[in-house]
């Protein structure tokens, strides 16, 4: 972990990282730091706890979304195993689909109704799509 990644991790955990410095790509990078540092299982527990605490510290606890968080961590862990690098720039360049929010990588796995329902927000839902299948409205 670089000095900058450690500083961002510490600020995220403390809730002092400004929300202006924590958009989608920043979420993905932070999740990448956790997965690389702790492995998927431990990273999931720690990232979920820290992300919820961060959202509360910013006055936006409803922004936490369980399915999005768990799905991204799982996909990230798979991609980290396929692309072993200590450099975020190299990882990001190899997986630009992870950095796009809309349309995003989860659109291949989740229909909008499934992903944005209350059950998906509060608990992990399995995907209702298979990547490569045609999208049926």
Q: Convert the pLDDT of each residue in 12-70 to its tens digit.
A: 899 888 888 889 999 999 999 999 999 999 999 999 999 999 999 988 888 899 999 99
pLDDT of residue 44: 95
More confident residue, 4 or 106: 106
pLDDT of residue 63: 86
Cα–Cα distances in angstroms (integers) from residue 110 to residues 19, 55, 58, 92, 95, in the given order? 26, 24, 28, 22, 19
Q: What is the C-alpha separation between 75 and 101, in angstroms, rounded?
A: 14
Which helix (H) or strand (E) segment is 46 a member of?
A: helix 24-57
Is the pLDDT at 103 greater than 80, yes or no? Answer: yes
User: Can you tell me the mean pLDDT for 76-91?
Assistant: 93
Query: pTM of the prediction?
Result: 0.88
pLDDT of residue 137: 55
Q: Would you tell me the crossing angle of helices 24-57 and 66-82 to the nearest 10 degrees?
A: 140
């Amino acid at each position: 972990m670089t000095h900058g990644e450690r500083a961002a991790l510490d600020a995220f955990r403390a809730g002092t990282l400004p929300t202006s410095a924590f958009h989608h790509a920043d979420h993905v990078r932070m999740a990448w730091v956790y997965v690389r540092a702790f492995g998927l299982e431990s990273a999931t527990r720690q990232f979920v706890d820290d992300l919820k605490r961060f959202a509360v510290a910013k006055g936006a606890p409803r922004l936490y979304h369980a399915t999005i968080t768990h799905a991204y961590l799982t996909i990230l862990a798979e991609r980290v195993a396929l692309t072993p690098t200590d450099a975020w720039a190299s990882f990001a360049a190899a997986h630009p689909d992870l950095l796009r929010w809309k349309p995003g990588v989860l659109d291949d796995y989740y229909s909008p109704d499934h992903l944005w329902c209350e059950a998906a927000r509060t608990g992990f839902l399995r995907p209702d799509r298979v990547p490569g299948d045609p999208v049926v409205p």
